[in-house]
Chain A
Amino acid sequence: MATAVSILPAPQLAVLKDTYRKAVARKRLKAALAVAVFCAVLVIAAFGAEVNLRTLFTYFGNFVSYFDRILTLDSGARVWTDPAEWFWGWHKWLKMLGETLLISYVGTLTGAVFAFALNFFAAQNTSPGPWVRFIIRRLLEFARTVPGIVFALIFVIAFGLGPMAGVLAIAIHTTGALGKLFAEIVENADMKPVEGIRSTGASWLSCMRFAILPQVSAGYASYALLRFEINVREASVMGFVGAGGIGQELVVAIRKFYYSDVSAMLVTIIVTVFIIDISTGWLRGRLFGKETRR
């Protein structure tokens, strides 16, 4: 019943085996070399970053006990035994949290609008000229590469302390990030509708509006929602440099060792991020079907 597996005669087999071994050995050597180089770089990096394993081992207990401490109330009880005491400042924190959400919302929307305005110039297939494209691309790259919090630091000095600096920082960073992603969507768009519309004598603007936009708007909205999610996280730390939101309270609590407050605020932030994650995920699935979910 079983068909026999035909085996080559030994001499032929030996040649094949030999070649196979050689090929594998070369591959292994390459991999080993890569690993060795990588390890060497790591060691250099370890010196650069002043890695001190002894400090880590001595103080690792602190890390664990830190969590122990932030989960203990002043009275010595565990936080979850007395939620009212744990979240004593919930009124203020929720207000700050609302401010954080507003910062990220206004920042995301502003950034998305700017990214929308710029991305057609940055995409290869729709840009009116190579020079425009080059300049816009560098501009977006700059906005994206400089971290949002650095912008916030500078804006706090220019616009004064407060959420405004945070909003503008997030808006600029979002413009850079979304501008690139939007341009990539446009580059993937089908160019045939554009030809069709141009052949009717339409201007560049109408080409964008009627040929490109219908193809890409779903992708835009999806990326913008995703960005909103990321920006909520970013906005929660904008307060560290005085740019508004719950980060301001959090950094005070961490620096002044108000342990149970730290855990309460962290829980608030984490829960909010969860809710935003889940709801934007649901919204994206709902609006654009399964295939655009990333």
Chain B
Amino acid sequence: MSQLPKPDTAELRAKYPGVFERPASARLAMPVVIVAALVIFAYGLVDLDFSPSRLISGMSQLGWITMMMIPPNPGSSFPLYMQALGETLSIALLGTTLAALLALPVSLLAARNVIPSNLIRFPVRRFLDSIRGVDTLIWALVWINVVGLGPFAGVLAIMVSDFGAFGKLFSEAIEAADRKQVEGIRASGGNALHEIRFGLLPQVLPVIAGQVLYFIESNTRSATIIGIVGAGGIGLQLAEQIRVLEWQKVSFLILMILIAVAAIDFISSKLRFAIIGQRAVV
């Protein structure tokens, strides 16, 4: 076997200083970041009134509450809770669907390959961003001011806040679409609308359907919480029972939410695979 020439370490070191000695900035970056993170964390603990005694007494309280929660028991309100759960699922489904329908045309305006001009795209994007910046709960409060307490306000709240999210996701899906099919349509004499209908939509619809299903799933969760501010559904019952300290009912309601979410999860993942095949989405 031929022997490789022995490497001259000193020479190599001189030749590639970057490999042997990382610059000080790179070596120091990690410890500095960690120390800074810990300092902010400690400051946060102090500023937010964390104290071991509070933590311990709270934990023991929490232990008590957990004990009181067992066994879960709806009392005589089971039919009421089922109805509330139905309301929640309806809110999630309707809100998401309406949001998707509204967001589709707007997302075309926000996609670079449909509207090349920055003049329209930029304001549309910022508009969607601002809608997304406001939490669903805040939208729920606003809609309650408009249409009154009840599940309808919840539907509208979910619709508005998802509109922002969908607008962004859809426009990203559209931008990721293959350019060639659009070019093919244009080459055969199609106009701009034809390009969208036959070139873009067939590519993006499965992706969009997957995202909508995923959102219906996650909105089941959102729909439970907007009840807390009075927008109907099971969250309303949950918040009420927590306020009057009926822990057995609380645990039952939480259990119901968990089961409902798991069921929706299961159904929508089945549907998603049916629509898009085994390709992973989101």
Contacts and interface: CB of A to CB of B under 8 A. Distances in A.
Contacts of B138: 236-237, 250, 254, 266
B145 interface: yes
Interface string B117-161: 000000000000110011101100111011110111011100000
Contact of A153 (B54, B135, B137, B228): B228
Interface in B230-273: 232, 235, 238-239, 242, 245, 250, 254, 257-258, 261-262
A173 to B, nearest CB: 10
B277 interface: no
Given A99-B47, A99-B48, A145-B221, A49 B61 contact: no
Contacts of A236: 135, 138
B48 A102 contact: yes
Contacts of B221: 145, 147
Interface residues of A, number: 58
B58 to A, nearest CB: 4
B91 interface: yes
Contact of A103 (B48, B61, B91, B228): B48
Contacts of A52: 147, 152
Contacts of A42: 93-94, 97
Interface string A260-276: 00000010011001100
A63 B155 contact: no
Interface in A181-198: none
Nearest to B126: A274
A273 B131 CA distance: 11
Q: Could you tell me the dominant secondary structure of chain A's interface residues?
A: helix
Contacts of B150: 50
A142 interface: yes
A41 interface: yes
Contact of B137 (A60, A237, A273): A237
B37 interface: yes
A56 interface: yes
Contact of A269 (B47, B94, B133, B229): B133
A49 B257 CA distance: 17
Nearest to A63: B146
A42 B154 CA distance: 15
Contacts of B49: 162-164
A56 B86 CA distance: 21
B134 A49 contact: no
A149 B228 contact: yes
A250 to B, nearest CB: 7
Contact of A105 (B40, B151, B242): B40
Contacts of B37: 109
Contact of A102 (B44, B59, B93): B44
Interface in A57-71: 59-60, 62-63, 66
B162 interface: no
A143 to B, nearest CB: 11
Contacts of A266: 134, 138
A218 interface: no
A158 B62 contact: yes
A33 interface: no
Contact of A254 (B50, B87, B145): B145
A233 B49 CA distance: 21
A275 B4 CA distance: 55
A233 B152 contact: no
A117 interface: no
Given A150-B228, A153-B242, A164-B50, 4 more contacts: A66-B145, A106-B41, A154-B62, A155-B58
In the A-B complex, the 3 residue pairs with the smallest Cβ-Cβ separation, listed nearest first, are A48-B90, A159-B58, A45-B90
14 contacts: A48-B151, A49-B90, A49-B151, A51-B155, A66-B146, A102-B47, A105-B40, A145-B262, A157-B65, A158-B59, A158-B61, A158-B62, A158-B65, A164-B49
